[in-house]
Structure 1
Amino acid sequence: MKEIVNAIVSGSARPGDYASLAVPESYRGVVVLKEETQLFDGLATADKDPRKSLHLHDVPTPEPGIGEALVAVMASSVNYNTVWSSIFEPLPTFHFLERYGRLNDLGKRHDLPFHVLGSDMSGVVLRTGPGVTAWKPGDEIVAHCLSVELESPDGHGDTMLDTEQRIWGFETNYGGLAELALVKANQLMPKPRHLTWEEAASPGLVNSTAYRQLISKNGAAMKPGDNVLIWGAGGGLGSYATQLTLVGGGNPICVVSSPDKAQICRDMGAEAVIDRHAEGFRFWKDERTQDPREWKRFGKRIRELTGGEDVDIVFEHPGRETFGTSVYVTRRGGSIVTCASTTGYLHEYDNRYLWMSLKRIIGSHFANYREAWEANRLVAKGKVHPTVSVVYPLEEAGQAAYDVHRNLHRGKVGVLALAPSEGLGVRDPELRARHLTSINRFRAENS
């Protein structure tokens, strides 16, 4: 593994050099264990601690099959699906691996008593399987997390509709929180040359998700001038939604939970910001009863910030806590686009405000390859920037997931894998220099 790292850090190794490097028989990966799926039984979701369930183990190195690539992972990051996996909610991810294992011989390799997690990475291609022509050993890449089979006609208009669509590192094994990772070659994209390994690893899942949700015709198809309500605008997903709204000529109304996150949104260029804790918004009277008076107060606050206009689009991902409010505040004919439910899956809303005002609820899940490629292209051009706030070593991935679970973070939490330190991997220092302030905006030392 040391020789692999030395070749990558040198910046001068050629494809033949990588092809001649020996691939180790095993590597270190952050795993959950099948034998521990009942570890948190009886505990409330908030009390389940990823630091107790995430382990750094040696795992056997898989051989890349047809259309696959084995990648040396320099850095990764934590997404909320890693949190779900680590606390075994809404169900242990081994159910996903078992189902994949029944599909075909390549799928069988994923059905194991351990699950290597992680749905983001930056790194270097080490080996490619039969049939791979677009990528070669030595290519510096990032990966999106869509894994598809495309044997069904359903996925050929939009690969996200493939009947065997999976999220890599969540519904498959050999994810990115590891020293090596196994991916399909059609998950690979060029690494943005002006970013470090840890910066390049952070946008993949959330930036692509936000792109489909907001920009794509498969989502809200945002147009210039649209008012976009963004929940959690200072977090991993919301921070990219804010940037994409601004790049696309929209007007973000950023909802945050603290003054420092409010300031970050203003620094990104957002003018309309609501600190819902500071303004005392409580959308539920108790666990079973929402408060329509708070919906109305929230709608009034939005109109104060938009010159009297309601929002055209709501960027939804908290779920249960906010969904009733989202439906209420959306303008007549507007859209609520949802991609997650981090506060609970069982949403409640007053349907009168949906059907009588001709509003739409749109389900959006990750992104297809084209959407992920376009989202990555915006990063590579310096139009959208990484939002890394803190970086942990692989040994402390449990703490990284704990931070995300308890909402102790801003932006994205990065994890170093093979990269020996932060700050490595920049190939275009001139482009980096032009955007350095924006790249470092979420860094903890800037708070």
Structure 2
Amino acid sequence: MSQLGEIQQAILNDDLGAVASLDVPESYRGVTVHKDEADMFQGLESRDKDPRKSLHVDDVPTPELGPGEALVAVMASAINYNTVWTSIFEPVSTFKFLERYGRLSPLSKRHDLPYHVVGSDLSGVVLRTGVGVHNWKPGDEVVAHCLNVELEGPDGHNDTMLDTEQRIWGFETNFGGLAEIALVKANQLMPKPDHLTWEEAASPGLVNSTAYRQLVSRNGADMKQGDVVLIWGASGGLGSYATQYALNGGAIPVCVVSSPEKAEICRKLGAELIIDRNAEGYKFWKDDDNQDPKEWQRFGKKIRELTGGEDPDIVFEHPGRETFGASVYAARKGGTIVTCASTSGFMHQYDNRYLWMNLKRIIGSHFANYRESWEANRLISKGLIHPTLSKTYALEDTGQAALDVHRNAHQGKVGVLALAPEEGLGVRNHELREKHIDGINAFRNV
């Protein structure tokens, strides 16, 4: 049996104490993009770029373990938009990130390679820890958040997201989670929720933490009870968590979706106020250069019809260019537009009169710090927020999984199995799972 096979069997047999005594393999399988293929989609529109052509499953060398780091045997991972961006080399090739990181120190030089092992989520078991790691040991069942920081300067010590060397693991660093082994910093690790399977536990990390900071944290919108929260893509990877946080925190979500099926998912989560933007026929842009303010007005009127005359206190933004003008218009006087992404385009346009004359605020929110990620994971562990996993692929089929997300042909989160041989494994707390099974399965088979 191979070394990875022995590690896999020890985990599957619940013999986690044996993990420390097993040899770490010299190589493992990881999902990669190749530096010499960075121009492969040149001249194509974004929608025509196919991740199945650029994402490879390669045998790669196990990286050297540095101080403050951990090697993790990855049981499962998940797809995020940053993996899609990596796979289609937009807005820039991620090899530029790896080159920049490689210049930082001799240790970070490990990341500057002609291949990039991608992925910003994982669930798994700690294999080894580096010098200076005290809170984690081999055999610990963990999930990882994706904030990679150096914290050698002062800027990040109030909020680690402000560290001058803040990066997203598996996107701006190498050795990510779509692999059989991953390299993380120890301060990325959090306890695996014990009522979830490996694939369920892997799926919340990035989006759950992002939604928590963006909506709940004082670093984001600082949502309070009774707030009307407009949520774009409310059944998607980010929006599904925003919807749960709004409901869980006593706010009133107004869920924007694009189909009756996605509207039904929001109802399963407990939302009542739903706008099917395709059924309503909203077209916020007349053409590539000009927006249609009349459509903003029609959209605002629809929101007020649902809320009994109230405009949103908070707009949960992530589509970007397509919706941002409508978001600024729709927010109430003194309201907040909080944005964490731009999946439809990075160059936003809006009518600034609606912002300054109505004292609205735009807040930029990017992932989450360790404390926010820990709190978001704690809520998952307690069964107060649920994973939104809808479908799971094998590691070999990661390209198809990324294509699903690229084409918005998915609901919630799409998982990927690594060392876990099948779905449904890894549950420790069956009593808590049974209590919340409907919430856990809300996105299944949709």
Fold shared by both chains (TM-score > 0.5): yes
SS at match of 1:278: helix
Residues 194-233 of structure 1 aligned to structure 2 (within 5 Å): 194-233=195-234
Displacement of 1:146 in angstroms is: 0.1
Task: Please tell me whether the aligned partners of residues 63 and 70 of structure 1 are also in contact (alpha carbons under 8 angstroms).
Answer: no
In structure 1, what residue type is equivalent to 2:174? N
User: Residue by residue, what CA displacement relative to the aligned partner does 1:253-280 show, whole Å, maximum 9, x if unpaired?
Assistant: 0000111110000110001000000111
Task: Please tell me whether the aligned partners of residues 199 and 392 of structure 2 are also in contact (alpha carbons under 8 angstroms).
Answer: yes
Residues 7-22 of structure 1 aligned to structure 2 (within 5 Å): 7-14=10-17, 17-22=18-23
Residue matched to 2:124: 123
In structure 1, what residue type is equivalent to 2:184? V
Is residue 71 of structure 2 the alignment partner of residue 78 of structure 1?
no
Displacement of 1:50 in angstroms is: 0.3
Displacement of 1:140 in angstroms is: 0.1
Task: Please tell me whether the aligned partners of residues 313 and 336 of structure 1 are also in contact (alpha carbons under 8 angstroms).
Answer: yes
Residue matched to 1:65: 66
Q: Output the CA distance in 2 between the equivalents of 1:260 and 1:440.
A: 15
In structure 2, what residue type is equivalent to 1:148? V
Task: Please tell me whether the aligned partners of residues 378 and 384 of structure 1 are also in contact (alpha carbons under 8 angstroms).
Answer: yes
Task: Please tell me whether the aligned partners of residues 31 and 56 of structure 1 are also in contact (alpha carbons under 8 angstroms).
Answer: yes
Residue matched to 1:413: 414
In structure 2, what residue type is equivalent to 1:361? I
Task: Please tell me whether the aligned partners of residues 220 and 337 of structure 1 are also in contact (alpha carbons under 8 angstroms).
Answer: yes
Which sections of structure 1, spanning at least 5 residues, go unmatched? none
Task: Please tell me whether the aligned partners of residues 16 and 140 of structure 2 are also in contact (alpha carbons under 8 angstroms).
Answer: no
Residue matched to 1:371: 372
Task: Please tell me whether the aligned partners of residues 189 and 376 of structure 1 are also in contact (alpha carbons under 8 angstroms).
Answer: yes
Residue matched to 1:87: 88
User: Residue by residue, what CA displacement relative to the aligned partner does 1:149-193 show, whole Å, maximum 9, x if unpaired?
Assistant: 001100011000000000000000000000000000000000000
Displacement of 1:19 in angstroms is: 1.1
Task: Please tell me whether the aligned partners of residues 81 and 170 of structure 1 are also in contact (alpha carbons under 8 angstroms).
Answer: yes
Residue matched to 2:296: 295
Q: Output the CA distance in 1 between the equivalents of 2:259 and 2:14.
A: 41
In structure 2, what residue type is equivalent to 1:303? R
Task: Please tell me whether the aligned partners of residues 124 and 139 of structure 1 are also in contact (alpha carbons under 8 angstroms).
Answer: yes
Q: Output the CA distance in 2 between the equivalents of 1:164 and 1:122.
A: 25
In structure 2, what residue type is equivalent to 1:420? P
Displacement of 1:287 in angstroms is: 1.1
Q: Output the CA distance in 2 between the equivalents of 1:251 and 1:116.
A: 40
Displacement of 1:105 in angstroms is: 1.3
Residue matched to 2:362: 361
SS at match of 2:335: strand
Given candidates 4, 8, 11, the residue that maps to 2:7 is 4
TM-score, length of structure 1 as denominator length? 0.99
Task: Please tell me whether the aligned partners of residues 207 and 241 of structure 2 are also in contact (alpha carbons under 8 angstroms).
Answer: yes
SS at match of 2:201: helix
Residues 396-435 of structure 1 aligned to structure 2 (within 5 Å): 396-435=397-436
Residue matched to 1:51: 52
Residue matched to 2:38: 37
Q: Output the CA distance in 1 between the equivalents of 2:227 and 2:65.
A: 45
Displacement of 1:63 in angstroms is: 2.1
User: Residue by residue, what CA displacement relative to the aligned partner does 1:50-93 show, whole Å, maximum 9, x if unpaired?
Assistant: 00000000000012100000000000000000000000000000
Is residue 157 of structure 2 the alignment partner of residue 156 of structure 1?
yes
Q: Output the CA distance in 2 between the equivalents of 1:86 and 1:438.
A: 32
Q: Output the CA distance in 2 between the equivalents of 1:180 and 1:46.
A: 31
Which sections of structure 2, spanning at least 5 residues, go unmatched? none
In structure 1, what residue type is equivalent to 2:7? I
Cα RMSD for the two superposed structures: 0.5
Displacement of 1:407 in angstroms is: 0.2
In structure 2, what residue type is equivalent to 1:3? E
TM-score, length of structure 2 as denominator length? 0.99
Residue matched to 1:334: 335
In structure 2, what residue type is equivalent to 1:72? A
SS at match of 1:431: helix
Residue matched to 1:237: 238
Q: Output the CA distance in 1 between the equivalents of 2:107 and 2:266.
A: 44
User: Residue by residue, what CA displacement relative to the aligned partner does 1:286-340 show, whole Å, maximum 9, x if unpaired?
Assistant: 1111111110000000001111100000000000000000000000000000000
Q: Output the CA distance in 2 between the equivalents of 1:151 and 1:246.
A: 39
In structure 2, what residue type is equivalent to 1:333? G
User: Residue by residue, what CA displacement relative to the aligned partner does 1:176-214 show, whole Å, maximum 9, x if unpaired?
Assistant: 000000000000000000000000000000000000000
Q: Output the CA distance in 1 between the equivalents of 2:67 and 2:24.
A: 18
Q: Output the CA distance in 2 between the equivalents of 1:24 and 1:152.
A: 35
SS at match of 2:199: helix
Task: Please tell me whether the aligned partners of residues 212 and 371 of structure 1 are also in contact (alpha carbons under 8 angstroms).
Answer: yes
Task: Please tell me whether the aligned partners of residues 31 and 398 of structure 2 are also in contact (alpha carbons under 8 angstroms).
Answer: yes
Displacement of 1:12 in angstroms is: 3.3
In structure 2, what residue type is equivalent to 1:230? I
Task: Please tell me whether the aligned partners of residues 83 and 171 of structure 2 are also in contact (alpha carbons under 8 angstroms).
Answer: yes
Q: Output the CA distance in 2 between the equivalents of 1:431 and 1:64.
A: 36
Displacement of 1:18 in angstroms is: 1.1
User: Hey, which bits of structure 1, 4+ residues long, moved more than 3 A?
Assistant: none
